Amino acid sequence: MSSTLDPVIDVEYEQPDALHGDGAVCATHHAWARVPPEPAAAERLALKEKIRQLLKQKNAVMVSHYYVHPDLQDLAEETGGLVSDSLEMARFGRDHPATTLVVSGVRFMGETAKILSPHKQILMPDLDATCSLDLGCPVEDFSAFCDAHPDRSVVVYANTSAAVKARSDWLVTSSCALDIVRALKEKGQKVLWAPDKHLGGYIERETGADMLMWNGSCIVHDEFKAFELEQLIKSHPKAKVLVHPESPAAVVALADAVGSTSGILKAARELDATEFIVATDKGMMHKLRTLNPGKTFIEAPTAGNSATCKSCAHCPWMAMNSLAGVAHVLETGANEVLVDPQLIPRARVPIDRMLAFTAALKAGQPTAGLVPHIGAA
């Protein structure tokens, strides 16, 4: 258990049994998060100043995800760190010379940083910040699933534990999953995919690859509602719809652009529109709005006739990250992310593969030689 900051708010989450469809394998039944209170103005300024000084003293850099509090995004950029999607967080953490990385995001992001840089100290504001996809894919069940299908390349989403990564052939994030699965299909390979069924379904529809799917989902994106989104589109006919592929298929079908968090930012910059409806965690609104003054961003609906509850469209675990948490871990060295050293070499294989593949793609180099035969890892 990590060291904690008081006061805290517990958020209960129970996965409805209805999600356990035919052949479903998902063990998420209960999860919780604690959300730190907003600091008062003076405290906020003092915390920021303290963090600036500690980063210098400790040779540390901040790596923040687009869904965390705007202060953690802005301070990361202001101090020479990074705010980005999960793929670029991994690359930046690996390549940056700082000896300490402060990762504001969720647990799998800190673990990926540790796997790529075992010699660095990786700190997180709260080590209990997890993800429903990670929780819903325990390694014992996942390994049995893989053992039952040895003829398939095992492709896992970054939102998984180090142990699940160590059982896989490829790691993907939503910004590179299409390219990687397409390359596997071109080599005639069949895919075992985990854990997000919505992202997997989107990749399957786009690539036509043969994919056997784990039944996990993101508790945030799963709440976007297609019927209500259609109504919203009717009342905003000029708006373009931007959707993260962790959303249900009926929501993805209404999108003008589907992409990772960085893909959504790119589409908002490039599409010919001044109004956008956005189906992703609302933490994303900070960057969308600051980088696109003059454009309007509307949150996609999570409530309505087909809703079981009204979701706030904000990840409870991303919300556990705070300025106070960053200052605390930098000052004390608490909340260090540790990964079983025996797992690291094997867990690194699929991550390195993803980073090499995406670097080659970006440089316009051939990627076919980067796709090994099944079982080569």
Q: Footprint of ligand SF4 on this chain (CB under 6 A)?
A: 106, 131-133, 159, 218-220, 246, 281, 315, 317-318
- Binding partner of residue 329 among ligand 13P, ligand SF4, none, CB cut-off 5 to 8 Å per kind: none
Closer of 192 and 199 to ligand SF4 (Cβ): 199
Closer of 169 and 222 to ligand SF4 (Cβ): 222
- Binding partner of residue 174 among ligand SF4, ligand 13P, none, CB cut-off 5 to 8 Å per kind: ligand 13P
Four-point Cα dihedral 164, 206, 183, 195, nearest 10: 0
- Binding partner of residue 85 among ligand 13P, ligand SF4, none, CB cut-off 5 to 8 Å per kind: ligand 13P
DSSP E strand stretches across 45-123: 60-65, 82-84, 100-104, 121-123
- List the beta bridge partners of residue 123: 102, 336
Query: CA-CA distance, 336 to 329, in Å (whole number)?
Result: 8
Give me the phi and psi of 367, to 5 degrees please: -115, -10
Query: CA-CA distance, 310 to 324, in Å (whole number)?
Result: 29
Query: CA-CA distance, 224 to 240, in Å (whole number)?
Result: 16
- Binding partner of residue 173 among ligand 13P, ligand SF4, none, CB cut-off 5 to 8 Å per kind: ligand 13P
By CB under 6 A, residue 261 contacts ligand 13P: yes
> Sheet harboring 296-299: ordered strands across?
257-258, 240-243, 275-279, 296-299
Q: Which stretch binds ligand 13P (CB under 6 A): 82-90, 209-217, 322-330, 360-368?
A: 82-90
**Strand, coil or helix: 73:** helix
By CB under 6 A, residue 246 contacts ligand 13P: yes
By CB under 6 A, residue 174 contacts ligand 13P: yes
Closer of 108 and 145 to ligand SF4 (Cβ): 108
Going by their DSSP bridges, the two strands 31-34 and 10-13 should be labelled as: antiparallel
Query: CA-CA distance, 145 to 136, in Å (whole number)?
Result: 14
Q: Which stretch binds ligand 13P (CB under 6 A): 144-152, 173-181, 269-277, 343-351?
A: 173-181
Contact (CB, 8 A) for 133 and 173: no
Q: Which stretch binds ligand 13P (CB under 6 A): 71-79, 81-89, 295-303, 334-342?
A: 81-89
Q: Which of residues 206-235 bind ligand 13P (CB under 6 A)?
A: 218
CB of 361 to ligand 13P, least distance (A): 16
Question: Which residues are at the interface with ligand 13P (CB under 6 A)?
Answer: 85-87, 159, 173-175, 218, 246, 260-261
